[in-house]
Chains A and B, each alone.
Chain A
């Protein structure tokens, strides 16, 4: 009992600056123009996957929400953040219904990646890495999760060597300050100590945009990104 008191004190001392002085950058990602219509995916050759989808799923290159919001955008701190250490918890990437769920994941360099096969068919996950080591691994149904790590920051396109329509992305970053936009297009990067930051928004088809932000204390800075949709 005696030993635990200093521990708690130390814990509070460590957490307090983040809780009390941490700034936040948040905002929304939208698009202008008319995005290209996504194509229905024909899974007829893999009945065990096709029957999981009452209506045919479409490609996920451009996923939009109400009020012109753009989903699957990775918003992260590309300069200014000081966090060289990878979080200890793993990031999970699931193959289900012959789709990658989620379509885009972000992870820290050196952070563990867990690839799950939740399907009744074999998959062969193939991240098309150019900077990192490229690999592809077969994963029959019921086999254990594949565990991997990436050493270098890189946006890696991921495909399945068995089901050509499957496509996803790994955003390997040098930071754990990132946020991926969902159906409301919003992002939030909390717990930022005072300082100058470069915020980058990345989209698989529309490219990247950056904005500089200065955090002075316990404040929330609001910034928005807007991408121009391509007709084809």
Chain B
């Protein structure tokens, strides 16, 4: 009797666990994620849906089979099986093939979503913006009217003086008009090329609406590109535990019309 009860519990847990999967996949992606505001986000959402469906169906099937066996055989008193019927070898082989096939299938479907972001370089007319993550803030640098970034000199970093990147305006003409901001301000419908580096430890750049999450790795210059399609203000959060102030490490992404962006950039130059 207790065996049958246990089987019912197993099946109930499986069905309850399926609710968020069904919600996510069939009630629209916005149940789990906010509206997508990027050109590449649809691919990512599709990938998440497909992963949810595949993994969700496999999970449900496995749990239902488990429940069935518990229901059917939990009450048997005729001892324990000494050998698995047909031998364990084939079962293991079948499991490896099944799981392997699923992993390969997900990978194959995901390649496209991944490649549009990572394998394709930013186009030549993308707006380059440098991002520096440091404990516990993001800073963004624009090349300024001359279109050239000044060189970085870590020994010149002087945060109390707002020299977060370590620019050397005294000797470096290109650095003099560089614009540093605590907010990522970008024009809408324009490709943005982010050049990312960490000042100290590992951090992560996450904007849910952009469907972008990219780690900063100390010592590596990383590159990312995207196009935002909707004007608005969104949150950029650090999603890599980076120290005491991690909870407070955030910035805002401000997507503006091209006109507003030009005005903002001009105001920053003065």
* A residues in contact (CB < 8 Å) with B: 39, 41-46, 59, 61, 121-122, 124, 138, 157, 159, 161-168, 231-232
Residues of B bordering A, CB below 8 Å: 134-138, 159-162, 164, 169-170, 180-183, 243-245, 248-252
Q: How many A-B residue pairs have CB under 8 A?
A: 64
Which of A121, A161, A166 has the most chain B CB within a 10 Å cutoff?
A161
Q: Known contacts A122-B248, A124-B245, A138-B244; is A167 also within 8 Å of B181 by CB?
A: no
Distance (whole angstroms) from the CB of A185 to the closest CB of chain B = 21
Of A41, A138, A159, the residue contacting B162 (CB under 8 A) is: A41
Asked if A164 and B244 make an inter-chain contact with CB atoms under 8 angstroms apart, the answer reads no
Known: A124-B244, A138-B244. A167 touches B160 (CB 8 A): yes
Instruction: Compute how far the CA of A154 lies from the CA of B112 in the bound complex, rounded to whole angstroms.
Output: 59
Smallest Cβ-Cβ distance to B251: which chain A residue: A45
Bound-complex Cα distance A168 to B249 (A): 21
Residues of B within 8 A of A157 (CB): 160
Closest-by-CB residue of B relative to A232 is B170
Q: Which residues of B contact A59 (CB under 8 A)?
A: 160-162
Contacts of B180 in A (CB 8 A): 39
Given known pairs A59-B160, A165-B162, the reply for A121 and B248 (CB within 8 Å) is yes
Contacts of B170 in A (CB 8 A): 231-232
Instruction: Return the chain B residue nearest A168 by Cβ.
Output: B160
Chain A's nearest CB lies how many Å from the CB of B253? 11
Closest to B167 in A: A232
Contact of A161 among B135, B164, B252 (CB under 8 A): B135
Distance (Å) between the CB of B24 and the closest chain A CB?
Answer: 31
Chain B residues positioned under 8 Å from A44 (CB to CB): 182-183, 251-252
Tell me the bound Cα distance from A76 to B225 in angstroms. Answer: 55
- If A164-B159, A167-B159, A167-B161 touch, whether A43 touches B135 (CB-CB below 8 Å) is no
CA distance A166 to B137 in the complex (A): 12
Give A232 to B163 CA distance when docked, in angstroms.
12
Known: A42-B183, A159-B160, A163-B136. 13 other contacts (CB 8 A): A39-B180, A44-B183, A45-B137, A59-B162, A61-B161, A124-B245, A159-B159, A161-B244, A162-B136, A164-B134, A164-B164, A165-B160, A232-B169
Q: Give me 21 A-to-B residue pairs in the complex whose CB atoms sit less than 8 angstroms apart, sorted by A's number.
A: A42-B183, A44-B183, A45-B252, A46-B248, A59-B160, A59-B162, A61-B160, A61-B161, A121-B248, A122-B248, A124-B245, A138-B244, A161-B244, A161-B245, A162-B244, A164-B134, A164-B137, A164-B159, A164-B164, A165-B159, A231-B170
